[in-house]
Homo-oligomer: A and B are copies of this chain.
């Protein structure tokens, strides 16, 4: 396998009782997934786990060894239920220490906001040997230790941390996609889809049904690392849909 053929993979652990209770709708899965696509890294698995140290540590250990990169969101704030640093340190067999640069950042940030306190200093705790991920939004940095990246749970702060990491992680050829939307029942085009996919071994086709404006339809998403294969597959699929008389829209519905 040449360097460009190498597939880089990642996993995400979402830490949060608030997601598992249904109280909060997760928004980090989609934003981490979209960001990874652009970096040429494939998100292969997500686990949502409760705020329990052992459960977080187990998920981190299962996934960090199976993938090139592991991201976590949630549990790095100042309150008693923020236990991600402790859980990741336990998973890696490392002690938790105060990061001097993180302490300095927090002291600066809180100078005009009531000063540093013991609770705020919790956000300078890292597994020993960690680096920081800048956070221009709210002071408290994210944390990188080996191939594990600890990010905030608040989506717009996590987004800032992803921005700071953009271009710093090695990735492979990005997966390219073309979407073709089609009105009607998915079952009417099932044979056609399978045949087009079989004729284009460098492409996968996913079919995602929807119900909108009182009508059923589906978006067919073609994925490939080859732009040529992608175009050829999309052209073939459009021709086949036209020939069979389907009402379709290149670009998706």
Residues of A in contact with B (beta carbons under 8 Å apart): 14, 17-27, 29-37, 42-51, 55, 77-81, 113-114, 117-120, 122-123, 138, 153-154, 156, 175, 177, 185-191, 193-194, 197, 204-211, 216, 221, 223
Known: A80-B194, A194-B80, A207-B77. A21 touches B43 (CB 8 A): yes
Residue among B177, B190, B209 making CB contact with A21, cutoff 8 Å: B177
Residue of B nearest to A35 (CB): B22
- Distance in Å from the Cβ of A106 to the closest Cβ of chain B? 9
Point out the residues of chain B lying under 8 angstroms from A120, CB to CB. Answer: 187, 190
Residue of B nearest to A59 (CB): B45
Counted per complex, copies of this chain come to: 2
Contact of B45 with A55 in the complex, beta carbons under 8 Å: yes
Q: A80-B190, A119-B191 are in contact. List 4 more A-B contacts (CB 8 A).
A: A21-B37, A26-B29, A45-B49, A79-B189
A55 vs B46: C-alpha distance when bound (angstroms)? 12
Point out the residues of chain B lying under 8 angstroms from A221, CB to CB. Answer: 18, 21, 23
19 A-B residue pairs with Cβ-Cβ distance under 8 Å, sorted by A, are A14-B46, A17-B223, A21-B43, A22-B32, A22-B33, A22-B37, A25-B30, A26-B30, A46-B48, A47-B47, A77-B209, A78-B186, A78-B187, A80-B197, A114-B188, A120-B190, A122-B190, A153-B208, A154-B209
Contact of B22 with A79 in the complex, beta carbons under 8 Å: no
A32 vs B120: C-alpha distance when bound (angstroms)? 35
Residue of B nearest to A189 (CB): B79
Point out the residues of chain B lying under 8 angstroms from A46, CB to CB. Answer: 14, 19-20, 46-48
Contact of B20 with A33 in the complex, beta carbons under 8 Å: yes
A77 vs B191: C-alpha distance when bound (angstroms)? 13
- Top 9 closest A-B pairs, CB basis? A22-B33, A22-B34, A119-B190, A46-B48, A78-B187, A80-B194, A79-B207, A120-B187, A79-B190
- Distance in Å from the Cβ of A192 to the closest Cβ of chain B? 9
A55 vs B194: C-alpha distance when bound (angstroms)? 21
A205 vs B208: C-alpha distance when bound (angstroms)? 39
Point out the residues of chain B lying under 8 angstroms from A204, CB to CB. Answer: 17, 81
